[in-house]
Amino acid sequence: MKNTSIVILAIICISYLASCKKDKDGPSNEEILKNKIEDVIPQQYLDTLKRLNFPVNEGTTPPNMEGAFYVSPLILKASNISGDKPGNAFLSSKVKFFDQHNDDFGISLIGEHVLTLRDTSIVTAISGSGNNFTIYGKVKSTYGSYSAIFATIISGVKEGNNIKNYTIGLINIDNSKGGTGIFVPEGKARIAYDSDLITESIEYDAKTANSGNEKTLKLVKPLGGD
């Protein structure tokens, strides 16, 4: 009887220690990434993009995407907005990723002609594995006294210094700040892609590279360009 009690006590202690260790270890990488993504884009809107065949690269080992890139020619691939026609061309754009941290899947994004003349992510995340990546950015777009929150999702394959199969999805996720009639309705989305399939790395002014100041960011032509 005494031996039985000792065995039971030992089992209880082992279970308790295992439970404590689990709590101490904290959330898994998958849980951290899931929460980070949901902070950028609610699942319902990510599902909308997926229904439009936007490619999402999952995983917790994304490649290092720090750098700046030139996107041209940018062509509409899919949309749920009335009147949009796949094949329509958009302005060439420039995007810069910096301050990537794979321990919490954070990354920062600055863009030119992504949503507006200048765009800066207010919350961003990155997922992927191998050379495949998806970057999720929450961006505030302002027109006069009106504003809306958009999710900007970018997927592709890191290939050397460039990106292959660059695809971008834009969706209005919060139109509650007086943006009705100014911005596309909440839940409406466009997906576009770099139609030459290669998005070139570009040089930029090193003095402003890590400033996070979209007003002073100086991007120049693609490496090897005219």
Per-residue pLDDT of the chain (226 residues; tens, 9 = 90+): 545 554 444 444 445 545 444 445 789 999 999 999 999 999 999 999 999 999 999 999 999 999 999 999 889 999 999 888 999 988 888 888 999 998 999 998 888 777 655 566 678 999 999 999 999 998 888 777 888 899 999 999 999 999 999 999 999 999 887 777 788 889 999 999 999 999 999 975 534 444 443 322 222 223 233 3
DSSP letters for 30-95: HHHHHHHHHHHS-HHHHHHHHHTT------EEPPP--EEEEE-SEEEEEE-STT--TT-EE--EEE
Same domain, 54 and 9: no
Same domain, 20 and 59: no
Closest C-alpha among 172, 119, 135 to residue 150: 172
Q: Decide if 177 contacts 147 (C-beta within 8 A).
A: yes
Same domain, 185 and 213: yes
Same domain, 73 and 183: yes
**Cα–Cα distance measured from residue 90 to residue 83, given in angstroms and rounded to the nearest whole number:** 15
Structurally, the chain folds into a number of domains equal to 2
Same domain, 75 and 120: yes
- The domain in which residue 49 lies consists of 33-222
> What pTM was estimated for this model as a whole?
0.78
Q: Decide if 82 contacts 190 (C-beta within 8 A).
A: no
CA distances to 86, 108, 111, 159, 191 from 79, rounded to whole Å, are 8, 26, 21, 27, 6
Distance of CA 64 to the CA centre of its chain: 13
Same domain, 52 and 17: no
Same domain, 141 and 157: yes
CB atoms within 10 A of CB 14: 10
**Cα–Cα distance measured from residue 220 to residue 17, given in angstroms and rounded to the nearest whole number:** 57
Q: What is the pLDDT of residue 222?
A: 30
Q: What is the pLDDT of residue 207?
A: 43
Same domain, 14 and 115: no
Same domain, 7 and 71: no
Q: What is the pLDDT of residue 3?
A: 52
- The helix (H) or strand (E) run that includes residue 15 is helix 2-25
